[in-house]
């Protein structure tokens, strides 16, 4: 049987096959060209980064390199090829010079602006608070209120235990560090959180052999960490704190400090264990054979604890904890005082940057100060890492500048930092902000002196 139109259909199929082959060849060629172009561009970028020079007409920022380098010069407005301008013997003998970026560089300055102040005072006034002696007080117009609640203690990194109490008298000391409080005054109700440092009992301290060294040589350690802050941004947004650190406390900035991996765990694990995550046993929780971090990580706070120190570790972001977001977390409570416990309750019941009518960061600083005060007769190790004001916003952190400056000044003035190694630091620079799309933003995060770190020993 014969069908009309068959030759035409065959020719049409042949043309379609030829078209597909042609398009495939074009894609393959373009892909190869793109890869070659990227290689060439990447090679040029590497040369620029290694030499520390950029063409100012191409990039709208300037880098000032400390010292002079006679082997590296501009040549007709472009960077010389390394093979032509720098003898290999000279290159091998040169040291790394850290670039100094313009803090108000044209490429990045529009990303930084004055943050809107926190509006915690718009919330109902907190009825209950802890005074300087860590005892319960009621505001004047709520002294008739009846309060109850629960003390919160850790069961696991993901769950808590609650011990109920039916009354909360004025002048009473907390029986545990953290309490959730509910109050009623007539038809009005208020609920909130109390955070205070409850001292270990004598038996617990005796077990730790927690006594000062006879020659007072055992330094206390006080570390305040901040998430996603380059040194440039810390200087832009925290000028009052910078002034206290440099002019009052005479701290030293470690300009060569840089990350050894990408992310908060990659920054803190080497600091706290002297090893990278890759060098330690598996702790990533998505693997069945993952270990709890405290089972296999030699955390430095264990060394301090064995030497009689009272220890504290805390973070203000429960959902993205350094050792719990991607890693399996702690089997046991890692330190004597541990803030994850209460921030689980805070995120679930309250959230935001206000603890009722007060900024959360003030309670954060107060808790750290109480730890240093309550244990003023024994050696102390404290590490508190703050994320809420800086992790997702490059401008918001400035709302705590005055409070942090006042906090450090007051502790210094009252001798609460005496015989103490004080470190203010960041884990890394900005990783997700839009400023990272600029060349200077990338340099602040990965090439320049991206995370800030100030160190002082207060005698």
Continuous segment of H or E residues that includes residue 139: none
Of 299, 336, 301, 342, residue with least CA distance to 318: 342
Q: Match 């959360």 to its residue by tokens.
A: 360
Decide if 280 contacts 269 (C-beta within 8 A).
yes
pLDDT by residue (tens digit) across 258-295? 778 878 999 999 999 999 999 999 999 999 999 999 99
Of 364, 31, 338, 26, residue with least CA distance to 155: 338
The residue ranges of every structural domain in the chain are 124-195, 219-458
Look at residue 327 in the predicted model and tell me its pLDDT: 98
Continuous segment of H or E residues that includes residue 215: none
Range 219-458: architecture per CATH? 3-Layer(aba) Sandwich (3.40)
Look at residue 429 in the predicted model and tell me its pLDDT: 72
pLDDT by residue (tens digit) across 33-89? 444 434 443 444 443 333 333 333 444 443 333 333 333 233 333 333 334 444 555
Question: What's the rounded Cα separation, in Å, for the pair 94 and 52?
Answer: 13
For each successive 10 residues of the chain (459 residues), what is the average pLDDT? 51 60 53 43 39 38 34 35 48 67 75 90 97 93 97 98 97 96 97 97 79 69 93 91 96 83 90 96 97 99 94 97 97 98 96 96 97 95 96 92 98 95 88 67 54 76
Look at residue 204 in the predicted model and tell me its pLDDT: 86
The pTM of the full predicted model, rounded to 2 decimals, is 0.77
Decide if 178 contacts 216 (C-beta within 8 A).
no
Phi then psi for 448, rounded to 5 degrees? -85, -160
Class of residue 166 by CB neighbours under 10 A (exposed 0-12, middle 13-18, buried 19+): exposed
Look at residue 188 in the predicted model and tell me its pLDDT: 97
Look at residue 13 in the predicted model and tell me its pLDDT: 60
């Amino acid at each position: 049987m014969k069908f009309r139109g068959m030759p035409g259909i065959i020719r049409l199929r042949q043309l379609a096959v030829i078209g597909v082959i042609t398009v495939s060849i074009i894609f393959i060629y373009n892909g190869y060209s793109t890869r070659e172009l990227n290689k060439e561009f990447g090679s040029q970028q590497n040369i620029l980064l290694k030499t520390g020079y950029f063409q100012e007409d191409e990039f709208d920022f300037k880098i000032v390199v400390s010292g002079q380098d006679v082997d590296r010069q501009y040549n007709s407005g472009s960077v010389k090829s390394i093979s032509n301008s720098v003898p290999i013997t000279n290159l091998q003998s040169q040291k790394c010079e850290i670039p100094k970026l313009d803090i108000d560089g044209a490429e990045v300055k529009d990303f930084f602006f004055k943050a809107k102040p926190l509006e915690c005072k718009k919330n109902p006034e907190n009825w209950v608070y802890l005074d300087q002696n860590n005892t319960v007080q009621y505001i004047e117009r709520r002294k008739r209120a009846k309060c109850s609640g629960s003390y919160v203690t850790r069961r696991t990194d993901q769950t808590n235990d609650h011990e109920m109490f039916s009354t909360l008298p004025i002048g009473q000391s907390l029986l545990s560090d953290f309490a959730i409080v509910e109050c009623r005054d007539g038809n009005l109700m208020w609920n909130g959180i109390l955070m205070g440092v409850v001292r270990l009992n004598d038996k617990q301290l005796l077990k730790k052999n927690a006594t000062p060294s006879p020659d007072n040589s055992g330094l206390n350690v006080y570390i305040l960490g901040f998430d996603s802050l380059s040194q440039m941004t810390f200087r832009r947004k925290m000028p009052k704190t910078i002034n206290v650190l440099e002019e009052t406390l005479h701290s030293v900035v470690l300009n060569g400090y840089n990350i050894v991996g990408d992310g908060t765990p990659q920054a803190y694990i080497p600091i706290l264990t002297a090893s990278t995550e890759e060098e330690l046993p598996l702790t990533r929780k998505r693997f069945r054979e993952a270990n709890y971090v405290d089972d296999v990580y030699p955390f430095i706070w264990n060394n301090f604890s064995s030497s009689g120190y009272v220890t504290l570790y805390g973070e203000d972001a429960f959902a993205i904890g350094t050792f719990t977001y991607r890693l399996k977390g702690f089997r046991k409570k890692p330190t004597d005082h541990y803030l994850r416990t209460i921030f689980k309750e805070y995120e679930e019941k309250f959230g935001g940057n206000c603890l009722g009518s007060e900024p959360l960061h003030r309670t954060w600083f107060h808790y750290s100060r109480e730890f240093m005060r309550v244990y003023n007769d024994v050696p102390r190790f404290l590490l508190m890492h703050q994320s809420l004001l800086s992790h997702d916003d490059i401008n918001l952190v400035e709302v705590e500048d005055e409070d942090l400056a006042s906090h450090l000044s007051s502790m210094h003035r009252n001798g609460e930092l005496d015989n103490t190694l004080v470190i203010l630091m960041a884990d890394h620079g900005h990783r997700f902000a839009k400023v990272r799309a600029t060349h200077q933003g990338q340099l602040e995060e990965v090439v320049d002196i991206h995370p800030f770190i100030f160190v002082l020993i207060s005698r």
